[in-house]
A and B are shown apart, each in its own frame.
Chain A
Amino acid sequence: MKEKILINARIIDPSQKMDEKGSVIIDANGKIKIIGKDVKKSDASSSAEVFDLKNNILIPGIVDMKAFVGEPGYEYKENFRTLGQAALSGGVTSIVTMPNTKPIIDNVSMVDFIIRRGRDKASVNLYPCATLTRELEGKQMTEFGLLSAKGIIGFTDVIRTVQNTQTMARIMDYASDIGVLIMQHVEDYELSKNGCINDGEVSTRLGLEGISYIAEKIIIQRDLSLLNEFPCRYHINQISSKESLDVIKRNKENGTNFTVGVSINNLSLNENDIGDFKTFLKLSPPLRSEDDRLALVQGIKSGLIDVIVSDHTPEDEEGKRLPFAQAATGAIGIETLLPLALEMYHNESLPLKKIIETLTINPAKILKINKGSLIKGSDADICVFDLDTPWVVKGDVLKSKSKNTAVEERKLQGKILMTFLNGDLVFKST
């Protein structure tokens, strides 16, 4: 590989508190050779390929902590190739993939398969999760030690929650000893039974069963109580309500160590957007009130929420063309993750640095991976974007195999121009 120099960039890399005009040199091995305002063109070799970024923004490649691939078993929804393309065109270079495939990734033999398959088909860094419990049943913990040794990054039952308190206690106790990452979906099933949207005026009007915020809060409270007994690496996949934030605040203030994620959907939409039964907006956790949404944005600002995820959940049309209660849950989002997040910058809710942080170094730290940073010597995974270009989301032109975007026709500002992976230009906007 030839050396590359990216000049005239506004470099924002929260991992090294950098926000400055400068250049980046990528060495022949695809690593960051040197970065910042002091880099001169003469620092690169004379044969280096030059990219003039024209004052656009350069950040570390985005790390998305929650996306569903579809392989194996649901290739008609998404496969490694399409997910990879979608991710790169969204500036995402590292993806944590969910294990609720068919078969489920809950044993060592499956791990080899997906790692090999992912490496062959997707030109993006993949970090597979295995399930927390066998068959997603919430009963028997999976082989945390063996699976980690095979390359599993974390353990999650994705959209299912371990209901049994005893089981959860043992999972945390065991995990605390071997240092694996537990990623919990927080939902009490009895309280959320049959529910499909937020419990409130909208659910009353639409005649749909609601899911109260209590269903989320009670599991967070339970798990954080357990966590004090069994301090393991514990991450809450996604929260959706203001009430959950209150619990999180109290516990973080008391020194309990854990991390929290939120889906870009819960930051960008609220229950009113569901309108006349738009099933693409049937999500888990559900969209809640505007007050909740605003609280979540504040939660990012104050650092109570650590990461923003795409919660990329491809579903084909058949699964969505059903009465709301029966329709599949989830929306795609990996391509629109950054542009949607930039909305919070444009409407002055969040500083740009904070947004980038939650998409890069924060998830990388939680995952303990060497990503999300462009510090000298790190892999040259880079996203270059234009902060201001307006565009309109059209599901049909998104690269994901499924088109169930929750933000169809949304007017966004900010577009990904280039994505580099290990120093290679892997995406360029046309």
Chain B
Amino acid sequence: MAVQKNTSAIKSQPKHLLGIQNLSIQEAKKILEEAKSFINLNRSASKKLDILRGKTQINLFFEPSTRTQSSFDLAGKRLGADVMTMNVSNSALKKGETLIDTAMTLNAMHPDIIVIRHQDSGAPNLLSQKVNCTVINAGDGRREHPTQALLDALTIINRKGKIEGLKIAICGDILHSRVARSNIYLMNMLGAEVNVIAPKTLMPRSIERLGVKSFTDMKKGLDGSDIVMMLRLQNERMQGSFLPSKREYYEFYGLTPEKLKFANKDALIMHPGPMNRGVEIDTKLADDINVSLVKEQVELGVAVRMACLKLYCK
């Protein structure tokens, strides 16, 4: 597939991708459109382009990540950028200092793109005020994970042909989930109807104001849905008791073939990973290639990130 070399960055775009909330529908569609062109490229034998030749991309990860980090890493390399990944291990106390100090240091090295993941909501916004290169959010606290939502959208479009009119159920630890928030914004924007399902203690306050219906009963929440997005229980973000036990959680909120029956017959399952098998999802279901899109999500993640890097890097 021929790829235009000369596509300029999105002109009207602020040069940072900080969240879906700041994105217009045209911008979102443009990214998805661009990403489609990379899907086949990534499947071909020769994957390397030179769109970002001479550009420097720094992946700044304050939180451990495997798939997002490697995905951004590959995406940058396939576009010809020089990619450097920094895993910033930090003590709780020095987090903030490290962010600004590191940002200033890195900025002095003239990177073109910084991809940041940080445990604090809003950290990429702060970073974007301090550096003069493009900042791409690879997940901040519980706020946003825009490229995850975009890759989820691309995966759905790839399978279902569209998003508009679909019913999407997002189930699990909504409270701590940036993936849920970004997906709510994006799927709503693209015309889907979104249900969120969680036990009350893991449901954020005023979530309906984000344009979703909320359910505590999984069966009701799944009713008629075309896509079931399962989320990981983020035990590392939980302080104190949110749930009686994993066993009870699985009983009421774990996705099993029985519960999936409440969704549409041709419903597909997604999960941003990593999965807690037997906690939020039945292990066989997770691996069932007829219903599970998990592997495809990972695959298309690279294409979406290539699109973002290309469009946002001036």
Contact = CB atoms under 8 A, between A and B. Distances in A.
B206 A208 contact: no
Nearest to B120: A323
A276 B206 contact: no
B120 A321 contact: no
Contact of B95 (A204, A323, A324): A323
Contacts of B96: 322-323, 326-327
Given A193-B239, A326-B96, A207 B144 contact: yes
A244 B207 CA distance: 24
Contacts of B95: 323, 326
Interface stretch (B121-129, B220-228, B272-280): B121-129
A325 B95 CA distance: 11
Interface in B96-151: 96, 99-100, 118, 120-123, 125-126, 140-144
A205 B125 CA distance: 14
A324 B205 contact: no
Given A322-B126, A323-B122, A207 B205 contact: no
Contact of A200 (B118, B120, B206, B239): B206
Interface in A152-173: none
B205 A205 contact: no
Interface residues of A, number: 22
Contacts of B191: none
B205 A323 contact: no
A321 B100 contact: yes
Contacts of A201: 205-206, 209-210
Contacts of A199: 205
Chain A at the B interface: SS class: loop
B205 A200 contact: yes
B236 to A, nearest CB: 14
A207 B181 contact: yes
Contacts of A206: 121-122, 143
A203 interface: yes
Nearest to A210: B205
A204 B121 contact: no
A207 B121 contact: yes
Nearest to A327: B96
A286 to B, nearest CB: 13
Contacts of B126: 277, 321-323
A242 to B, nearest CB: 16
A45 interface: no
A201 B240 CA distance: 23
A349 interface: no
A205 B239 contact: no
A326 B204 contact: no
A324 B140 CA distance: 12
Interface in A179-220: 190, 193-194, 199-201, 203-208, 210
Interface in B1-54: 21
A207 B121 CA distance: 6
B178 interface: yes
B100 A324 contact: no
Nearest to A277: B122
**Residue with the greatest number of chain A CB neighbours at <10 A, chosen from B140, B142, B239, B240:** B142
A184 to B, nearest CB: 25
Nearest to A190: B240
A194 to B, nearest CB: 7
Interface in B217-251: 239-240
17 contacts: A193-B240, A199-B205, A203-B205, A204-B209, A205-B181, A205-B210, A206-B121, A207-B142, A207-B144, A207-B178, A208-B143, A277-B126, A322-B96, A323-B95, A323-B99, A323-B123, A324-B121
Given A322-B96, A324-B121, 7 more contacts: A200-B206, A204-B205, A207-B142, A207-B178, A277-B125, A322-B126, A326-B120
Interface of B: 21, 95-96, 99-100, 118, 120-123, 125-126, 140-144, 178, 181, 204-207, 209-210, 239-240
Which 7 pairs show the lowest CB-CB distances between chains A and B?
A207-B143, A323-B120, A207-B121, A322-B96, A277-B122, A201-B206, A207-B142
